[in-house]
Structures are given as C-alpha cells and as structure tokens.
C-alpha cells in the first residue's frame, strides 16, 4: 500500500509498483494516513495479508512515521518503508527506532530499478519467508506444552518450512483432522502434508528427508567440512565455496545457529533497522548454496584423523572425509538448575525459543530469566504479544549486563516489568508449568506462571570431540597462540610450523565463532572468524 497526500507523487509510486510487482501483489493507494488505516482495518477483518507499506513522511494530519507506527499494531509483520525528502533524513533514522520502520528511501526514487526495486524486493522476500498462507502446506497437530511438539515446530520454523500449527486443546479442527486421517489423538505430534500423508511423532532425520532436506553427503571427499551452520560456519561456507573449495556444512537444526533463535540483531553492520536472526540465517544459507556449498541435516558425533585426512562422524553412523575441518558448533544455552525445571522443559520452560513461542503467549503473562542482551531482546519480542513480561534479574538492575539501547527500549515499553534481585527457586506443574517460587528483596513468594523463558548464558558444544582437540577448563576450544602453555606448543602438535591463528591442536582442524576460547560473542565476530579461517585453510592446503 502506497500512502501520499500529493496525488501526482502517489500516482507515480503506484505506477512504478504496479509495473514491477503487479503480477504478484495487489497495489493499493491512500491519500492520507487515516484513509490508509481505515483500509487496513477493513483488510484485517477480511483476514487479507498485507506485505508492505510505503508512506510519505510529510502529510497533513498524520505524518508517515505516525501512520507506520499505528499500522504496525494492525499488521506487525508488514514491511514498513518511509519515503522522505532529503531534509527529513534525520527524522527517518530516528523512526527506525521509534516506529520500527524497516527502511527509508529518499525522493526522487528514479531510476526505480536502482533506487526502489532492490530495497523493496529484499523486504518483500523477508516478508514472504515469514508468511504462512492459510491451510496450504504442512499442518502440525500437537499439545502446546509438549516437548516433542515444540521440537517439531522449532525444527520446521528454523528450516523455513511453512506450516500451520493446530493446538489440540484449543482448536476444534485439530480433532476433526485427526479423525479424517484416522489417527489417534493420544499419539501426538502429527505432521500432515499437503498431499494428505502423515507422520506421527517423527524423528528430525525422518522429517528432514520428508520435507526435502538433505541428510546424506553427495560426495565421498571434500576440501573442507564445516561443523555447525551458525554465523561462523555460514561465513566459512560462503567464502570457502566462492573461493573454489568443495565445502560441506553439517548442521542438525537449521542454518542460522543461535542467531536464528534471537529475535532481532540490531548491531550487525549494514542493517540499520536490525535483522532477525532467522532472516540472516536464511539469506546466508541461500548465498552459500548458490555459491556451491552443500548442506547436510545431521549432527557431528566424532572426529578422527588418518594421515592428512580428517573424518567427521555423523549421528547416523556415516562418515565424511576432507583435508580441512572447521569446528563452529557454537554454544548451548545453560539450563536452569532448580527443582521442576528439567521435567517442565518444553512444557512452559523454554531456552532461547523466542520466535516460535511468542505468538502462543498472546495476551498472557510471560517471565524471562536473565539480565543480559539475550534476555532483553527476548523480553522486547514477547512484549509485542504478551499482556505483561516480567524480567527476573539476579543483579540490582540491567546497566552492568545489558546494552544501553536495549535498556532504553525496555524502559519505553510499558508492559515490561523489571524484578531486580530476584531468583527462581522452584518450578511447579503437573502437565505443564503452573507456578514459580521466587526469592526477591521482600523474601520468598509464589506466582502463577505459564511461560518462563531462560537466558542465563551458554556452554560450548564440544563434548563429542576427541581429547586431542585441546580446550580450556570450560570446554572452549584453544586455537593459534592460545595453544601455547608457558610459551610451549602442546606435546601432541605434529606440525613443523606454528599453528595458524585459528588452528586447533590438530593441524588442519580450525575453530571459529563462539566455541573458540576467548572469542567475542557476537554475530559479526563469528562471521569474521569463519571467513578468516578459510584463508588459513588455503594456506594449509597449499602446504600439501
Ligand atoms: C538470545 C541471543 C541474542 C543475541 N543477540 C545478538 C545480537 O544482537 N548481536 C550479536 O552480534 N550477537 C548476538 N548474539 C550472539 C550471537 O548469536 C552469537 O555470537 C553467534 O550466533 C555465534 O555464532 P557461531 O556460528 O559461533 O555459533 P552458533 O550461532 O551457536 O551456531 C552454532 C551451530 O552449530 C550447530 N551445532 C552444534 N553442535 C553441532 C554438532 N555436533 N554437529 C553439527 N552442528 C552442530 C548448532 O546447531 C548451531 O546451529 C545473541 C545470542 C543469543 C543467544
């Protein structure tokens, strides 16, 4: 929808939009913010999706920023773009934070092939990736509080497989569908495919195969095998493949890594309006695949060496071999060590599950544990759906542990409440989380709770690696200069040379990202390390 009070400009925008997008989208127009809001309200009643709003800034009655802010309440997923005169650029940049606009474009936008379409196409692709057309494609029927159901939904959404979820307890259609498919409502979750075929409580590898993900390597030998498709592994795949290395990436969940589960990365270079981790992962996956990298939906379970060859063992018992291995398995969320937490994990207690669960918490109160950036981002994300978000923070406040921009936004968000000096002592519930015992400044007390999201740090996923790969006391992998102890290289080091900067204690096995000892836990640094590791891989291969 294009909005502008200047009718000649409006006509010109609409013409340009129709010419390029008319075949796939309906282009609507409005001559004021209020008229546009009225139309959006009608569309909402008719349950019609809205992909993109393109609004002029200077309009009488309601500015473009005001309109986009109000439109966000009706269509939070629609991409919001402000069209500004050069003089309004500063207002536009401010609006990225306040009205959460996705982009601003300066007038005039000629030629549209350069100044309009690339930006809008990019935004429409993002919107499309998150859009689930009703009743098409996959349907998942399950219990909202079941761990199995949660795993299936997380797997699908993080692999960008569109699906519709039907909660057996809340949706009458779910029971009817199960009856039609002659399936037992006591055996859930069930995945129903568009052709009517079904899978009951599928393992990830079975589901991966059925939705068209690859679980077996196509070649016997690769130049480089990358373990983990987080930002570090994806960057290595992009650079490796683009520089001619036969590259295989092993990832059991979905490309994107931890970043895939974060609600929004605000500080990654080149994305002034932020980018969701899922979008970043999706883009990098497409980019690496286009450049020739191969992806396997598998978990690495072991690593062995034989002369110059490196073998990565996979969960299904197979092995893949290569000259170079890049270890980028990142870190895993630390679990809450309190009575009841283990039993209720996935049934009201979640670790880094923000994107999938947020919509299910609509209108409810949500608790978030933790005071670092991850907890802040999650709280802001939930605040869009939940009636109230309570942040349980061990310290006296957030300033020592969270970035200022997040603290500012939390303060601006009226339905987020901070509970400082507060810890969770116990979780209660039979089938699912029902209440929590907390300890706060006023002593111990109990609160009713249905959702608790935990963000209390993470540990490296390195337990599967052989002891020859050296690590620090917390399990983070040592590489390059960190391998030296008291100035000496480890005894097992077989190379005639110094280890390369990101090389582990086994020559030809490199380390990148959060899993590396001393790494900066950021998307950009993981991406940087993944790409640098490829340069060292080239140097290593040149020595053959
Ligand atoms: C909630 C949250 C919010 C964050 N927000 C920001 C932010 O705003 N800005 C920012 O810069 N950073 C942010 N970070 C940090 C950022 O996400 C990480 O630094 C980054 O994802 C690290 O990338 P990585 O590739 O090293 O590891 P990961 O992203 O952890 O990826 C590792 C991948 O390896 C896979 N893997 C693990 N074990 C195996 C195995 N055995 N075999 C095969 N694959 C395996 C995992 O499934 C995973 O996909 C945030 C983190 C969290 C948790």
d(C-alpha 255, C-alpha 233), whole Å = 9
d(C-alpha 232, C-alpha 352), whole Å = 19
Q: Helices 523-542 and 231-242 sit at what angle, rounded to 10 degrees?
A: 40
Q: What local confidence, expressed as pLDDT, does residue 526 receive?
A: 97
DSSP letters spanning 165-195? EEETTT-HHHHHHHHHTT--TTS--EEE-TT
Residues 8-36, mean pLDDT to the nearest whole number: 96
Q: What local confidence, expressed as pLDDT, does residue 70 receive?
A: 93
Cβ of 519 closer than 6 Å to ligand 1, yes or no, is no
Cβ of 398 closer than 6 Å to ligand 1, yes or no, is no
Q: What local confidence, expressed as pLDDT, does residue 321 receive?
A: 96
Q: What local confidence, expressed as pLDDT, does residue 138 receive?
A: 86
Q: What local confidence, expressed as pLDDT, does residue 135 receive?
A: 54
d(C-alpha 127, C-alpha 422), whole Å = 38
Cβ of 253 closer than 6 Å to ligand 1, yes or no, is yes
* Dist. CA 275 → ligand 1 center (Å): 15
Q: What local confidence, expressed as pLDDT, does residue 162 receive?
A: 81
pLDDT band at 542 (very low <50, low <70, confident <90, very high): very high
Whether this model's pTM surpasses 0.85: no
HEC letters along 223-276: EEEEECCCHHHHHHHHHHHHCCCCEEEECCCCCCHHHHHCCCECCCCCCCCCEC
For the beta carbon of residue 37, count every other beta carbon within 10 angstroms: 19
Residues 148-156, mean pLDDT to the nearest whole number: 84
Q: What local confidence, expressed as pLDDT, does residue 352 receive?
A: 66
Cβ of 352 closer than 6 Å to ligand 1, yes or no, is yes
Question: Quick check: 354 pLDDT over 60?
Answer: no
User: Contact 390/402 with Cβ under 8 angstroms?
Assistant: no
Question: Quick check: 280 pLDDT over 60?
Answer: yes
Cβ of 522 closer than 6 Å to ligand 1, yes or no, is yes
Q: What local confidence, expressed as pLDDT, does residue 483 receive?
A: 95
Task: Enter the tokens of residue 227.
Answer: 């373990």
Q: What local confidence, expressed as pLDDT, does residue 356 receive?
A: 60
Distances, alpha carbon 8 to alpha carbons 31, 81, 97, 116, in Å? 11, 19, 30, 17
Q: Which residues contact 100 (CB under 8 A, 6 or more apart)?
A: 69, 72, 80, 273
Question: Quick check: 45 pLDDT over 80?
Answer: no
pLDDT, tens digit, 9 for 90 and up, residues 309-345: 999 999 989 999 999 999 999 998 888 999 999 888 8
Q: Quick one: which atom of ligand 1 is closest to the CA of 378? A: 1
* Dist. CA 230 → ligand 1 center (Å): 5
Question: Quick check: 46 pLDDT over 90?
Answer: no
Residues 532-542, mean pLDDT to the nearest whole number: 96
Substitution site in 248, 256, 259 for ligand 1 pocket (most atoms within 8 Å of beta carbon): 259
Q: Quick one: which atom of ligand 1 is closest to the CA of 234? A: 25
Cβ of 265 closer than 6 Å to ligand 1, yes or no, is yes
Question: Quick check: 495 pLDDT over 60?
Answer: yes
d(C-alpha 142, C-alpha 462), whole Å = 33
| SS3 (DSSP) at 54 | strand
Cβ of 302 closer than 6 Å to ligand 1, yes or no, is no
Substitution site in 264, 277, 521, 523 for ligand 1 pocket (most atoms within 8 Å of beta carbon): 523
Query: For tokens 């019609």, what's the residue?
Result: 48
Closest residue to atom 35 of ligand 1, CA basis: 228
Give the least confident one: 97-111, 124-138, 348-362.
348-362
d(C-alpha 268, C-alpha 180), whole Å = 48
Q: What local confidence, expressed as pLDDT, does residue 91 receive?
A: 81
Substitution site in 215, 217, 228, 326 for ligand 1 pocket (most atoms within 8 Å of beta carbon): 228
pLDDT, tens digit, 9 for 90 and up, residues 241-272: 999 999 999 999 888 887 776 657 878 999 88
Closest residue to atom 9 of ligand 1, CA basis: 265
Give the least confident one: 62-71, 218-227, 229-238, 488-497.
488-497
Closest residue to atom 27 of ligand 1, CA basis: 330
Q: What local confidence, expressed as pLDDT, does residue 254 receive?
A: 83
Q: What local confidence, expressed as pLDDT, does residue 60 receive?
A: 94
Q: Quick one: which atom of ligand 1 is closest to the CA of 255? A: 49
pLDDT, tens digit, 9 for 90 and up, residues 425-457: 999 998 889 999 999 999 999 999 999 999 998
Residues 511-526, mean pLDDT to the nearest whole number: 94
Q: Quick one: which atom of ligand 1 is closest to the CA of 515? A: 26
| SS3 (DSSP) at 153 | helix
* Dist. CA 301 → ligand 1 center (Å): 18
Cβ of 464 closer than 6 Å to ligand 1, yes or no, is yes
Q: What local confidence, expressed as pLDDT, does residue 355 receive?
A: 58
As a whole number of Å, the CA-based R_g of the chain is 25
Question: Quick check: 52 pLDDT over 90?
Answer: yes
Residues 394-417, mean pLDDT to the nearest whole number: 95
Q: What local confidence, expressed as pLDDT, does residue 259 receive?
A: 74
Closest residue to atom 44 of ligand 1, CA basis: 228
Question: Quick check: 151 pLDDT over 90?
Answer: no
């Amino acid at each position: 929808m294009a909005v502008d009070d200047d009718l000649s400009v409006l006509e010109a925008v609409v013409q340009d939009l129709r010419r390029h997008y008319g075949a796939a989208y309906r282009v609507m127009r409005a001559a004021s913010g209020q008229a546009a809001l009225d139309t959006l309200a009608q569309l909402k009643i008719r349950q019609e999706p809205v992909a993109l709003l393109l609004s002029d800034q200077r309009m009488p009655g309601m500015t473009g920023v005001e309109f986009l802010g109000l439109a966000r309440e009706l269509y939070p997923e629609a991409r919001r773009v402000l069209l500004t005169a050069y003089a309004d650029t500063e207002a536009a940049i401010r609006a990225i934070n306040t009205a959460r606009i996705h982009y601003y474009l300066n007038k005039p936008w000629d030629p549209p092939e350069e100044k309009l379409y690339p930006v809008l196409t990019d935004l429409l692709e993002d919107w499309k990736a998150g859009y689930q057309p009703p009743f098409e494609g996959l349907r998942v029927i399950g219990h909202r509080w079941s761990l199995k159901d949660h795993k299936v939904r997380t797997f699908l959404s993080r692999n960008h497989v569109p699906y519709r979820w039907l909660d057996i307890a809340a949706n009458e259609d779910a029971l009817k569908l199960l009856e039609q498919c002659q399936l037992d409502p006591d055996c859930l979750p069930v995945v129903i495919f568009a052709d009517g075929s079904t899978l009951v409580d599928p393992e990830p590898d079975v589901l991966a195969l059925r939705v068209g993900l690859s679980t077996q390597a196509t070649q016997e030998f690769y130049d480089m095998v990358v373990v983990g498709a987080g930002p570090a592994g994806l960057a290595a795949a992009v650079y490796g493949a683009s520089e001619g290395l036969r590259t295989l990436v092993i990832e059991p969940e979905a490309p994107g890594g931890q970043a895939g589960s974060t609600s929004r990365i605000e500080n990654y270079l080149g994305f002034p309006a932020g980018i969701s981790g899922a979008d970043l992962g999706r883009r990098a996956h497409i980019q690496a695949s286009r450049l020739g990298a191969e992806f396997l939906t598998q978990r690495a379970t072991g690593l062995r060496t034989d002369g110059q060859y490196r073998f990565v063992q996979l969960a299904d018992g197979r092995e893949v071999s290569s000259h170079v291995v890049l270890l980028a398995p990142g870190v895993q969320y630390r679990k809450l060590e309190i009575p009841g937490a283990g039993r209720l994990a996935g049934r009201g207690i979640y670790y880094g599950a923000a994107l999938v669960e947020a919509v299910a918490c609509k209108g409810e109160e949500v608790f978030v544990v933790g005071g670092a950036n991850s907890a802040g981002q999650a709280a802001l994300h939930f605040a869009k759906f939940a009636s109230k978000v309570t942040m349980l923070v061990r310290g006296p406040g957030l300033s020592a542990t969270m970035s200022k921009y997040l603290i500012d936004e939390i303060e601006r968000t009226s339905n987020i409440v901070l509970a400082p000096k507060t810890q969770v002592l116990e979780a209660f519930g039979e089938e699912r989380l029902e209440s929590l015992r907390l300890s706060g400044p006023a002593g111990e007390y109990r609160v009713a709770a249905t959702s608790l999201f935990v963000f209390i740090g993470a540990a490296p996923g390195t337990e599967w690696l052989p002891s020859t790969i050296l690590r620090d006391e917390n399990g983070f992998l040592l590489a390059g200069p960190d391998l030296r102890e008291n100035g000496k290289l480890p005894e097992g080091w077989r190379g005639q040379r110094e280890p390369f900067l990101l090389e582990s204690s086994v020559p030809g096995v490199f380390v990148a990202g959060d899993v590396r000892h001393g790494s900066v836990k950021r998307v950009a640094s993981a991406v940087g390390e993944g790409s640098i590791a490829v340069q060292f891989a080239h140097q290593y291969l040149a020595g053959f």
